[in-house]
Amino acid sequence: MKQSVLFTKTSKDVAKDEQSLNSQLLIKAGFIDKIMAGVYEFLPLGYRVLKKIEQIIREEMDAIGGQEIFMSALSPKENWQTTNRLDSMDVLFETRGANEESRRVNDGSYILNSTHEEIITPLVKKFALSYKDLPFATYQIQTKFRNEPRPKSGLLRGREFIMKDLYSFHVSEEDMRVYYEVVKEAYFRIFERLGIGETTYITLASGGDFTKDFSHEFQTECPTGEDEIHVCDKCKIALNKEVLDRQDSCPECGTKDLRITKASEVGNIFPLNTKFSKAFDYYFTNEKGEKEIVYMASYGIGPSRLMGVIVEKFADDRGMSWSQSISPYSVHLLSLGQNDEADKIYEKLINEGVEVLYDDRDVSPGIKLADSDLIGCPNRIVISSKTIENNNIEFKKRSQAEPQFLSLEQVLAKLR
Ligand code: ATP
Ligand code: MG
């Protein structure tokens, strides 16, 4: 991608009300823009990152048999009345058509889905009614709406945000528990591939109103995270603050010597048991022809929150720093007034299948270098009169201080 044709630009200033580091950097670098509090638009560079995060999650969901679907964002209020969450879920958005006619019908109002248990349960009930149909799991990656009070953490807490939500359906609690463990493992792989495996802890949390048992959060250590967790560094397990009166020691080794740290919840898995199947009357027929209740679990991950967390964790005073797996481009190629030579390198890299952002703009070297640090691709190549004279390429990793001078072959070897 040539930066001269990229319609977005980096900017020096961001609005003063932008308090979080992630939104400040992402807006400055032209990855996202804000339309109102808690609602952001994804621009070409930012959307590439989001899609890469989603794709990693998608691959791991597919690998454990998740069947991808895409549900509606809008739903009738009745579904939420069935579970009483119309009243109990404070963050629910209700919406209505703006004209007279739509006010008359159904009082004109619908729900903008904040989660999809109320949608998926009546949906799958149309198909999976026999023990032969169970178990199965289905997921989507989709926009959710929540009227979060005072959203000021950028992508960490949107009022409109992206969630991957997986739901699984089982003949028994035991069967649900088996798959629950399979999903846990898939989650560990996802966070590993996103480059945050080392600092993401499975965390005991309360099951809310779904279950007496614990649910599990995946909490990523992050200085600006909204949650406080108590970590057993030996077992790499944590406790959420809210469970400390039920459980105040590591569930693996029993130690009470836990490290308190700030974290952001990037994923959450819930044994729902029969809460939603009961509400929607979702039974299956067993081998003897008798009716039995279906067991369910739900499993969320926030791709847009993850993007914000990753920015916050890895940023330095010069800007963002993306890992190879989710960077918008692998290489940022800068031409310092040498577009003829840089064009050739660009072509060669593209032919080798390398994803390149090419700064071919007519701006000063200082601006190019600063923008490159801000945007944060993991590899930087500089073509200047000096490199042409020495017949080499200046190559630097975002994480390294000093560049190396290499041949194109050596650079390609490093990129592989
Ligand atoms: P929190 O306690 O942070 O409000 P939650 O328990 O409400 O999170 P879930 O309903 O379990 O979150 O949603 C699943 C995942 O969706 C979360 O783990 C998180 O990654 C993401 N998520 C939830 N709320 C938001 C939000 N407002 N903005 C961005 N991502 C969110
Ligand atoms: Mg919440």
- Cα of 161 vs centre of ligand 1, distance in Å, is 9
- Please give the pLDDT value at position 210: 62
Kindly state the average pLDDT of the residues 322-342.
97
Q: What is the pLDDT of residues 47-84, one digit of tens each?
A: 999 999 999 999 999 999 999 999 999 999 999 999 99
Q: What is the pLDDT of residues 223-242, one digit of tens each?
A: 999 999 999 999 999 999 99
Which residues make Cβ contacts (< 8 Å) with residue 294, sequence separation at least 6? 134, 169, 170, 171, 274, 277, 282, 283, 284
317 pLDDT higher than 90:
yes
Residues facing 84 on adjacent strands: none
Q: Pick the atom of ligand 1 nearest to 159's CA.
A: 27
Q: What's the fold here for domain 3-73+113-314?
A: BirA Bifunctional Protein; domain 2 (3.30.930)
Q: Pick the atom of ligand 1 nearest to 217's CA.
A: 18
| Ligand index nearest the alpha carbon of residue 264 | 1
- Cα of 208 vs centre of ligand 1, distance in Å, is 14
Phi, psi (rounded to 5 degrees) for 101: -55, -45
Which residues make Cβ contacts (< 8 Å) with residue 127, sequence separation at least 6? 133
Kindly state the average pLDDT of the residues 382-390.
97
pTM comes to 0.97
- Please give the pLDDT value at position 211: 64
| Ligand index nearest the alpha carbon of residue 155 | 1
- Cα of 355 vs centre of ligand 2, distance in Å, is 36
Q: Pick the atom of ligand 1 nearest to 157's CA.
A: 28
208 pLDDT higher than 80:
no
- Please give the pLDDT value at position 18: 86
Q: What is the pLDDT of residues 246-285, one digit of tens each?
A: 999 999 999 999 999 999 999 999 999 999 999 999 999 9
Task: Supply the residue whose CA is at minimum distance from atom 2 of ligand 1.
Answer: 265
- Cα of 414 vs centre of ligand 2, distance in Å, is 42
- Please give the pLDDT value at position 150: 86
In this prediction, what percent of the chain has a pLDDT beyond 70? Answer: 97
- Cα of 157 vs centre of ligand 1, distance in Å, is 8
pLDDT band at 16 (very low <50, low <70, confident <90, very high): confident
- Please give the pLDDT value at position 79: 97
pLDDT band at 98 (very low <50, low <70, confident <90, very high): confident
DSSP state of 239: E
Q: Which token pair is 3?
A: 């930066």
Task: Supply the residue whose CA is at minimum distance from atom 24 of ligand 1.
Answer: 157
Best mutation site among 146, 148, 163, 206 for ligand 1 pocket (most ligand atoms within 8 Å of CB):
163
- Please give the pLDDT value at position 15: 77
Output the DSSP codes for 152-204. Answer: -SGGGS-SEEEEEEEEEEESSHHHHHHHHHHHHHHHHHHHHHTT-GGGEEEEE
Task: Supply the residue whose CA is at minimum distance from atom 26 of ligand 1.
Answer: 157
Kindly state the average pLDDT of the residues 163-187.
98
- Cα of 372 vs centre of ligand 1, distance in Å, is 31
Task: Supply the residue whose CA is at minimum distance from atom 1 of ligand 1.
Answer: 265
Domain ranges of the chain: 3-73+113-314, 331-415
pLDDT band at 13 (very low <50, low <70, confident <90, very high): confident
**Rounded-to-integer distance, Cα 172 and Cα 131, Å:** 10
124 pLDDT higher than 90:
yes
Query: Which protein residues touch ligand 1 with a CB less than 6 Å away?
Result: 115, 146, 148, 157-158, 161, 163, 265-268, 300-302, 304-305
pLDDT band at 97 (very low <50, low <70, confident <90, very high): confident
Through-space distance between the first and last CA atoms of the chain, rounded to whole angstroms: 20
CA nearest neighbour of 237 among 204, 214, 271, 193: 204
- Please give the pLDDT value at position 275: 96
Domain 331-415 has CATH 3.30.1330.10: no
310 pLDDT higher than 80:
yes
Task: Supply the residue whose CA is at minimum distance from atom 28 of ligand 1.
Answer: 157
107 pLDDT higher than 90:
no
- Cα of 363 vs centre of ligand 2, distance in Å, is 44
- The answer to whether 3-73+113-314 and 331-415 have equal CATH topology is no
Kindly state the average pLDDT of the residues 96-111.
75
7 pLDDT higher than 70:
yes
| Ligand index nearest the alpha carbon of residue 50 | 1
377 pLDDT higher than 80:
yes
Write down the residue that tokens 């690998």 correspond to. 63
- Please give the pLDDT value at position 165: 98
Residue scoring higher pLDDT (17 or 195): 195
- Please give the pLDDT value at position 103: 67
pLDDT band at 355 (very low <50, low <70, confident <90, very high): very high
Across the chain, what does the average pLDDT equal? 95
- Please give the pLDDT value at position 73: 97
- Cα of 158 vs centre of ligand 1, distance in Å, is 9
